[in-house]
Amino acid sequence: MRKLVVAAAAAIVVVAGFAAAPSLAQTFDSSTVNDAVAGADVIAPIVLTKGTALNFGQVVAEAVATGTVTIGTDGSRTNTGIKLGATMLSHTGDFTVAGGPSSTYTVTVPATDQSITCTTAATCNTKTMVVNAFHHKCAQGAPEQDAACTLTGGGTDSFKVGATLVVGTLTDNPLGNYSGTYAVTVTYN
């Protein structure tokens, strides 16, 4: 009978030990995360401001020859077919951008031929020249024509626009000042 009591006691201890395990782990039939995080960054609209205008400087129109003058985004001026005159106000088209810190944005320049018109009525009347091959380069290290330009941590950037001027013969493009406008757009990516 003594043996029986010992065996029963041992068995009870074992039962109690196992029964305690689930109660330590506890039983949960639901679980809640109370501090799930949500966030958003509100930024100002992107703003584009024009600076110095795109200018091809002085170009020499000739009686027979036609040619082109190209302004690079680095401000370089190169020519084909015709001679360059004085540099004068030769310049890239400069723009500044303001918007959300570190936002990326896309610059869109004209993809089609634009035209500039003679504004010196006495000499060239309403003659026009084509400007095409617009391209741009952003200040923040973006490659030429890169769609994804990036604003600084302070929310600013700038870019330069270059293009090619197609010059006709002296008959088509008599001496004078020619000017026109083109559209540039920036959008957040």
Partner 1 sequence: MAYPRTRWTTLLATAVPLLLAGRSASAETISLTATASLAFGQVVATPASGAVTVAPNGTRSSSGGSLLGGSAGVRAAGFRVVGNADAVYSITLPSSTILSSGGSSMTVDAFTSSPSGSGILGPSGSQDFAVGATLHLGSLQPGGAYAGSYAVTVAYD
Which parts of this chain interact with partner 1 (CB under 8 A)? 1, 3-4, 7-8, 11, 14-15, 18-19, 22, 25-46, 99-100, 102-104, 188-189
CB of 8 to partner 1, least distance (A): 6
Number of Cα atoms under 13 Å in the Cβ half of residue 29? 0
Q: What letter would DSSP give residue 159?
A: E
| Minimum CB distance to partner 1, residue 6 (Å) | 10
DSSP 93-156: EEEEEE-STT-EEEEE---S-EEEEE--HHHHTT-EEEEEEEEEEESSSPPTT-S-EE--TTSE
Residue 46 Cβ vs partner 1, minimum distance, rounded to whole Å:
7
Contacts 24+ apart (CB under 8 A), 118-124: 118/173, 118/174, 118/176, 118/177, 118/178, 119/176, 119/177, 119/178, 119/179, 120/175, 120/176, 120/177, 123/174, 123/175, 123/176, 124/173, 124/174, 124/175, 124/176, 124/178
Shortest CB 4 distance to partner 1, Å = 5
Looking at beta carbons only, is 46 or 61 nearer to partner 1?
A: 46
Query: Minimal distance in Å, beta carbon 1 to partner 1?
Result: 7
Taking alpha carbons only, the member of 144, 127, 143 closest to residue 135 is: 144
Nearest to partner 1 of 42, 122 (CB atom)? 42
Q: Closest CB to partner 1 among 35 and 121?
A: 35
Nearer to partner 1, 37 or 64 (CB): 37
In the complex with partner 1, the residue whose CB is nearer, 107 or 124, is 107
